[in-house]
A and B are shown apart, each in its own frame.
Chain A
Amino acid sequence: MATVSTALPKRRATVPVRKPGAARSRVLLFADIVGLSPTLLLYGLFIVIPVFFAIFLSFTSWNVVGPLRWVGFSNWSRFFSDQGAHHALLVTFELVALSWLVETPLAMALGLFIAGRQRYRAIYAAIYLLPLLLSTAGIALMWEGLFSPDFGGLAWFSFHLHISFLNQNWLGDPSITLYVVVVIIAWQFVPFHALIYQAGRRSIPRELDEAARVDGATIAQTFRYITLPQLRYTIVTSSMLIIVGSLTYFDIIFILTQGGPGDTTRVLSLYMYDSGFLQTEFGYASVLAVVLAVIGIAVALLLIRVTGFGRMDSGREGIS
C-alpha cells in the first residue's frame, strides 16, 4: 500500500499535499479528475482530436457528403506542384515580412513612449487600445468606408484639396492592395504590441538606467547598450506573435478583398478556406492546414532556439 505514495510525482514546495496515504491519494486523484475533466473534454474534442484529424484528412479525399477515400500522398504531391498554393505561400511570407517590418519599430517606439510615467502618456495609452475593442469585421468595414474610391474619406481629399496621390483604388489596384492590408493590420495590432513593449521597458531594473546616467551615457547610448539588450526577450515575444499571427491572418482579407484583386492578397489561410469550404475538397485543404500549422510551430521553435529565449536565467545578467 505504501508504494502508492511513491508513485506520485515529485512535488515542489509550492503547494504540498500533506502525507498522502493510499486513501488520501485516491481522494486526490478523484479530485483531479473532477477538476480537470471538463477542460480536458472540451479541449480534447475541439483542439487535440482536430490536430490529428487534420493530419489524417490530408491523406484522404472527401467532400463530407460522399464516402471518405484513402489517397495516400496524392494530396501532398498535388501541393508540391500547385502554382496557386505556391503563390499563396509567397503572399503569406510577404505579408508576414511586411507586418514584422512595419509593426516592430512602431510598437517598440510607442511602447517606450507609454512606459513613461507622465499623466498624458497614460491617457494616450488608454486611447491607443481602442482598436483592440473593435471586431475585425468592424475594422474592415470602417477602412472600407475610408478607402472607397468614389465617396470615401481619402477620395474626398483628392477631389477637394487636389491631393491626387490619395485618389487610388486602394482595395482594387493589384500593386498596392497588399500594402493597404498591411497598414490596416498594423493599425489594429501595433497598440497591442506597444503594450508588450511597455511592460518590457517597465521591468528593466531602475539601477541600470541610473548606472548609465552616472556614467554620463547619452540617450542613444542608453538605448543601444541598456534598453535594447534588456528588451531582447520582449522583442522575441512580440516578433513571435506578429509572425505566427500574420501567418494565419484571415479576417480582414476575407472581408475586404476575398484574396483579390486577382490573387494578390490570397494568403494561405484564405486559399485553404476556398479549397475546403467553397470547393469542398477537405483532403487537399487539410494539407494546406497542416502546412500552416507546421510553419507556425517551426517559426516559434526557431525563434526560441536562435535567441535562447528558453534560458530565462540569463535575462538579468549584469545585475547583482
Chain B
Amino acid sequence: MSATGLAPAAPENVTIEPTSARIERRRQKSLAGAVRAPRLARFLAFLLGTVWLVIVLVPIYYMVLASFRTQGEYLTGNPWLPTGGLSLSSYSTVLSATGIAVDFRNSAILTLAAIVIVVLFSLGAAYRIVRRGSRFAAVSFRLILFGLAVPIQAIIIPIFIIVVKMHLYDTLIAVILAASASLIAVAVLLMVNYVRAIPVELFDAMTVDGAGEWTVFIRLVWPMARPVLAVVSIFAGLGAWNNFLLPLILTQSASTNVLPIGLYLVASTSQYGVDVPVVMAAVLLSVLPLVVLYFGLRRQFVQGLGGLAIR
C-alpha cells in the first residue's frame, strides 16, 4: 500500500516491493471480495453485459410501447418513441372482447391445480424414497429418473389417445393431469435432494420416541421442506402457466382455452387481423402476474428455474 502511495509517478516501485507483502496484499484483496480482473477486461465485460441488456430490453420496450397505442397510431407513428400520445384502448379491447378473462381463469386453475398436485405428490414420493423403507421405493425412484430422458413431444400422440379414451378430451382436467405428470419427475428430484439434507438425528429422535411414518412426515418433513416447496411451486407454476403443446393437443373449445392458446388465437384469427397493439397488450397482461411474483420472490424463482436445468 505505502509503496505505491509514496511514489505514484514511478510504477517500477511496485515491482521491488517484497514478494511476501505483495502476496499478502493480494490475499487480503481476494478475501475482501471478487477476483479482480484487469481494468480493460472489466470494461469489456461491462460492455458485453450492457449489450445483452439492450438486446433483452429492446423487444420488450417495443412491445410495451406498442400496447399503449391504437391500431391507427401504431401503423402511422414512430413505433420506437412515445410520440402522438398513448392510449389504453387496446387493453380495454383485450379485457372486454377477446374472452381473455376465460383464458385467464383457466390458466389460473391449471396453474394452481398443477402446483398442488406436483408439490404434494412429489414431497410424499421424495419422503418415501429418502426413507428407504422397502425395495419398492428404490425401484420407483429409478423408474422416475428414467422418465427425465423422455421428451414430451415424443409421447404426445399416446397422451392424446389416452385422454380421448378416458373421455377427458377438451377438459381442463386432462391438461392439469398431463402437465403435472410432465413436471413431476424433476419435482421429485428437487425434493429428494432437499429431504436428504434433513439431519438423520432428527428422524432417529422421532422414531425412538415412537412416532409413526405419518407423524414423521407431518411433524418433521413437511415443516422442514418449506423452502423447497416454494422453489418447486415456482418451477411447476411456470411450467403449467406457459405450457403450449399440451393444451394445444388436449383442448379445442373456447371455454377450455388457456392463455398461451388464447394469445395464439388472438394473433392468428382474422377477427383482429394484425391488430398488433391488442396482441401486445394481451401478451403483457398474461405475463404481468409472473413479473410481479418474480420481483417479489427472485431467489426462489432462480432456484425454480434451476429445476428446469435438470430437464
Closest to B266 in A: A141
A66 on the B face (CB < 8 A): no
Question: In this assembly, does B291 line the interface, its C-beta being within 8 Å of a C-beta of chain A?
Answer: yes
A123 to B161, CA, bound (A): 46
Do A145 and B52 touch across chains, with their CB atoms under 8 A apart? no
Min CB gap B96→A, angstroms: 20
Q: Is the Cβ of B62 less than 8 Å from the Cβ of A146?
A: yes
With contact pairs A141-B283, A219-B38 given, residues A40 and B140 touching in the complex (Cβ less than 8 Å):
yes
Residues of B within 8 A of A31 (CB): 128, 131, 133, 213-214
Are A292 and B305 touching (Cβ within 8 A)? no
Q: What secondary structure prevails in chain B residues at the interface with A?
A: helix
B74 at the interface (CB under 8 A from A): yes
Most buried by A among B27, B267, B290: B267
Q: What residues on B are CB-neighbors of A297 within 8 Å?
A: 149-150
Residue A169 is within 8 A (CB to CB) of chain B in the complex: no
0/1 per residue, B138-176, Cβ < 8 Å to A?
Answer: 101001100101111111111111101000000000000
Contact of B79 with A153 in the complex, beta carbons under 8 Å: yes
Contact A18 B147 (CB under 8 A): no
Q: Which of A13, A133, A138, A213 interacts with B263 by CB under 8 Å?
A: A138
Flag whether A114 is at the interface (Cβ < 8 A).
Answer: yes
If A36-B137, A137-B260, A206-B30 touch, whether A248 touches B207 (CB-CB below 8 Å) is no
Q: Are the CB atoms of B158 and A285 closer together than 8 Å?
A: no
Is A17 interfacial (CB-CB < 8 Å)? yes
Of A45-53, A78-86, A171-179, A307-315, which stretch is located at the interface?
Answer: A45-53
A53 in contact with B158 given A33-B136, A133-B238 (CB within 8 Å): yes
Residue of A nearest to B107 (CB): A135
Q: Which residues does chain B contribute within 8 Å of A237, judged by CB atoms?
A: 309
Contacts of B91 in A (CB 8 A): none
- The reply on A319 being an interface residue by CB < 8 A is no
Please give the number of chain A residues whose Cβ is less than 8 angstroms from any Cβ of chain B in the complex.
111
Q: Do B264 and A137 touch across chains, with their CB atoms under 8 A apart?
A: yes
Q: Which residues of B contact A130 (CB under 8 A)?
A: 56, 60, 291, 294
- A2 contacts partner chain B, Cβ-Cβ < 8 Å: no
Assess whether B280 is interfacial by the CB under 8 Å rule.
yes
Q: Which of A13, A25, A42, A190 contacts B133 (CB 8 A)?
A: A25
Q: For B181, list chain A residues within 8 Å (CB).
A: 42-43, 45-47
A121 contacts partner chain B, Cβ-Cβ < 8 Å: yes
Our pick among B59, B130, B144 for the contact of A15 (Cβ within 8 Å) is B130
Q: Does B53 contact A (CB under 8 A)?
A: yes
Residue A231 CB within 8 A of the other chain: no
Contact code string A1-22 (vs B, CB < 8 Å = 1, else 0): 0000001110111111110100
Which residue of chain B has its CB nearest to the CB of A134? B287
A316 within 8 A of B: no
| Complex-state Cα separation, A203 to B5, whole angstroms | 36
Q: A14-B200, A39-B144, A114-B49 in contact; A51/B150 too (CB < 8 A)?
A: yes
What residue in chain B is nearest A142 (Cβ atoms)? B63
Report Cα–Cα, A6/B162, bound state, in Å.
40
Q: A116-B45, A128-B56, A282-B161 are in contact. Are A36 and B136 (CB under 8 A)?
A: yes
Question: From residue 263 to 310 of chain B, which have CB atoms closer than 8 A to chain A?
Answer: 263-264, 267-268, 274, 276, 279-280, 283, 286-287, 290-291, 294-295, 298, 301-302, 305-306, 308-309
A contacts with B: majority SS = helix
B190 contacts chain A at the CB level, 8 A cutoff: no
Asked whether any CB of chain B lies closer than 8 Å to the CB of A73, the reply is: no
Q: Is the CB of A219 within 8 A of B53?
A: no
* Separation of A36 and B290 alpha carbons in the complex (Å): 31
| Bound form: Cα–Cα A7–B268 in Å | 61
CB contacts under 8 Å to B, within A236-275, are 237, 241, 244, 247-248, 250-251, 254-255, 269, 272-273
A97 interface contact, C-beta 8 A: no
- State the B residues within 8 Å of A (CB): 23, 26-27, 30, 33-35, 37-38, 41, 45, 48-50, 52-53, 55-57, 59-60, 62-63, 66, 74-75, 78-80, 117, 120-122, 124-125, 127-138, 140, 143-144, 147, 149-162, 164, 177-178, 180-182, 184-185, 188, 196, 198, 200, 203-204, 207-208, 212-214, 217, 238, 241-242, 244-245, 248-249, 259-261, 263-264, 267-268, 274, 276, 279-280, 283, 286-287, 290-291, 294-295, 298, 301-302, 305-306, 308-309, 311
A16-B204, A142-B62 given; name 12 further pairs at CB < 8 Å: A32-B137, A50-B162, A51-B150, A53-B155, A116-B34, A132-B305, A135-B287, A137-B263, A148-B274, A191-B56, A206-B30, A290-B154
The 10 closest A-B pairs by CB, nearest first: A28-B133, A46-B181, A50-B158, A35-B128, A50-B155, A293-B154, A53-B158, A135-B242, A137-B260, A138-B283
